[in-house]
Chains A and B, each alone.
Chain A
Amino acid sequence: MTEMHFSGTGASSGLHVGQAIIVGIIDGNVREKLGPEDEKSALQTAINAAIASTVNLMATLGGGEADILGIQNELLSDDVLTEPVWPQIEAGISAHDAWHSAMDIEIAGYLASQDEYFRARSTDLIDIRDRVSAHLLGGPKQLALAGGEIIIAHDLAPSLFMAIDWSHGGGIILGAGSTTSHVAMLARAKSIPMVIGVGDIWKDLQGAILMDGGQGSIIVNPSSETTTLLSAEIKVQSSSHAREILAKGDRAITADGVKISVMLNIASLDDIASIDAKACDGVGLTRTEFFVRDGILHEDVQFGRYVALLKWAKGRPVTIRTIDAGGDKPLEGYVSPSETNPFLGQRGIRLSLLHLDIFKTQLRALLRAAAFGPLKIMLPMVTRPLDVEDARAAVNAVKLELLNTGVPYGECELGMMVEVPAVALCPQIFDVDFYSIGSNDLTQYATAASRDNGRVADYADTSHPGVIAMIEHVANYGNLTGKPVSICGDAGSNPRLIHTLLKAGIRTLSVPPAALLSTKAVIRSLNLTDRI
């Protein structure tokens, strides 16, 4: 077989050789495509399961809701609905894709109707489509991987990335995707090579693949010469990477002597497993929606992990952001599934204040852990002063509970993310101890270019003078008042932006572990007194 070369956009650097494994995705669930007969029976099983579960649900509902489900079941039980699906599956289309394309045609028929009642029926069909899909994908589950495979998909939800065991390495190639999506950030944090935006050819990728996540290139069926040539490079890369991280790391001081704090963004304890805390100035961002994903209801699970993080940091400050779900980070039973524009919907602190019990569970764990070291609590997606006031009231209520029951706790600074443009222009109206600029969200909101849409990736540009002006405004306010201002988005580790950010007055960068040393190297090469 001859080598075939494809290219996309590099989203997480690194070279990797592995076997392709294609996954079909809905909200983090996956299944592998089987032969036509198995695909047909999988779809029939899913349809039967969807009907059965609806019947159970109807028993617990009454009146109108049960009626609607009853109607949906009538449609689902009608063989006419599935008629066009079977020949497609026989032609080699996956059960998931065949089902979706048939249903989408049916749905389009209703959407095209002149009559609003019939147009509205499309939602029932969408509901049916998605319910069968969910059964087809069989609920959230772990992908059975031997290790080192390259995950091939149209797009990948962050929850799926978290469900995969990456301890043996691996890679990701996506048909769609964006370099600023959360899954790309997670891949960079774990040093998993990732190429996005390869287009429809993702469906045809199979066999051995060599990928270069930095260049965005893919070689299918690499020749033995290519592999030998590159595997030597892979070895050098991975060992030098490990050496670099383990090393104490040089200080981050610009060529003209300005000290910059470089902190880490982390999503799990694995991220820091091979790093000596001496190499950084602390943790600037802990993404608890991933860090304690399996323990959002369990105070003790959270407490244990927060304490572990503080112990690792050996007295360096650890900033822990409260659960930032919503947007492109779904969390079942927590995030509303039906928002048309989730990035502008209930996410971050907005959801926390809605789920006050879960928020207080987290605050209890955080305050208890704060007895073990300097822990800072950071609130995501703050928009109004009231958001901070409500959060502070919750913190105070939890402190009182702890005090009254004699449970030891520590004092925490309370800070906020700056992601909303309206906030960046008036940081002074918020009663907080520190600010951290989420440059990815600030950029997508300020440039009106969605971070999960690769087609507008060129527009979502943090170096836009309007975005930099906002960052500068917050930095100036921080320097004036002595309140710390950091950057915890991708901009902080982007070699092309670090100079601009420091010039704008930023003195603390929080970066993925994999970018720690390169960020420091860039800082050492810069001269802030330069006048260009």
Chain B
Amino acid sequence: MSAVMASAQITNEIGLHARPSVKLTQLAKKFSAKLEVATSQEGPWVDAKSPVKIMRLKAVQGETLFFRAKGNDATDALGELAALVSRKFDEA
């Protein structure tokens, strides 16, 4: 099974901060697929289910998040993850 990819731009003011990171990983954990995130298409890719690693990306407003997924629900996962980023992580 080959990897599928998606991307979304970070538009919320504080970027991939603690709360958004946790929301993202909590969503990612709902899927069985192997999910990875990067701030560049070339990587480095990190586990989308690890809040520590997501926070280490220190991605700020304006950066693009790239997602890579492999597994049964890979396509659904990518759709929901990209949508969460586009919705500004539902932050007020």
Contacts and interface: CB of A to CB of B under 8 A. Distances in A.
Contacts of B47: 80
Interface string B18-56: 110010011000000000000000000001001111011
Contacts of A115: 15, 58, 60
A81 B25 CA distance: 15
Nearest to B53: A80
Interface in A98-115: 106, 109-110, 113, 115
Given A71-B22, A117-B17, A78 B60 contact: no
Contact of B50 (A67, A78, A117): A78
A334 interface: no
Contact of A74 (B15, B51, B56): B51
5 contacts: A71-B51, A106-B52, A115-B58, A118-B17, A121-B18
B19 A121 contact: no
A75 interface: yes
B56 A78 contact: no
Q: Which 3 pairs across A and B sit closest by C-beta, in order of nearness?
A: A80-B52, A78-B52, A80-B50
Interface of A: 67, 70-71, 74-75, 78-81, 106, 109-110, 113, 115, 117-118, 121, 124
Nearest to B49: A78
Given A67-B19, A115-B15, A117-B15, A75 B51 contact: yes
Interface residues on B, range: 10 to 19
B83 interface: no
Contacts of B17: 117-118, 121
Contacts of A117: 14-15, 17
A74 B50 CA distance: 9
A296 B53 CA distance: 46
Contacts of B25: 74
A79 B14 CA distance: 25
Nearest to B57: A118
B90 to A, nearest CB: 13
Given A67-B19, A74-B25, A124-B18, A118 B58 contact: yes
Nearest to B14: A117
A121 B55 CA distance: 9
Nearest to B51: A74
B31 to A, nearest CB: 17
The interface residues of chain A, by DSSP majority, are classed as: helix
A75 B52 contact: yes
Contacts of A78: 50-53
Nearest to B26: A74
B12 to A, nearest CB: 11
Nearest to A115: B60
A75 B60 contact: no
B58 A81 contact: no
Given A75-B52, A78-B50, 9 more contacts: A67-B19, A71-B51, A74-B51, A79-B50, A80-B52, A110-B58, A117-B15, A118-B55, A124-B18
A71 B58 contact: no
Contacts of A81: 52
A113 B59 CA distance: 11
A70 B18 contact: no
Nearest to A119: B58
Nearest to B25: A74
A67 B17 CA distance: 13
Contacts of B56: 109
A117 B58 CA distance: 9
A38 to B, nearest CB: 26
Contacts of A124: 18
Contacts of A67: 19
A71 B18 contact: yes
Nearest to A121: B18
A79 B52 CA distance: 9
Interface string B53-83: 1011010100000000000000000000000
A13 B50 CA distance: 54
A312 B15 CA distance: 68
Contacts of B53: 78, 80
Nearest to A68: B18
A113 to B, nearest CB: 5
A81 B19 CA distance: 17
B10 to A, nearest CB: 12
Contacts of B60: 115, 118
Contacts of B14: 117
Contacts of A79: 50
A67 to B, nearest CB: 7
B62 to A, nearest CB: 11
Nearest to B60: A115
Contacts of B15: 115, 117-118
A315 to B, nearest CB: 64
Contacts of B22: 70-71, 74
A161 B55 CA distance: 41
Contacts of B55: 75, 118, 121
Nearest to B50: A80
B6 to A, nearest CB: 23
A506 to B, nearest CB: 57
Nearest to A72: B18
Contacts of B51: 71, 74-75, 78
B63 to A, nearest CB: 11
B78 to A, nearest CB: 22
A86 to B, nearest CB: 15
A108 to B, nearest CB: 12
A113 B51 CA distance: 17
Nearest to A81: B52
Contacts of A75: 51-52, 55
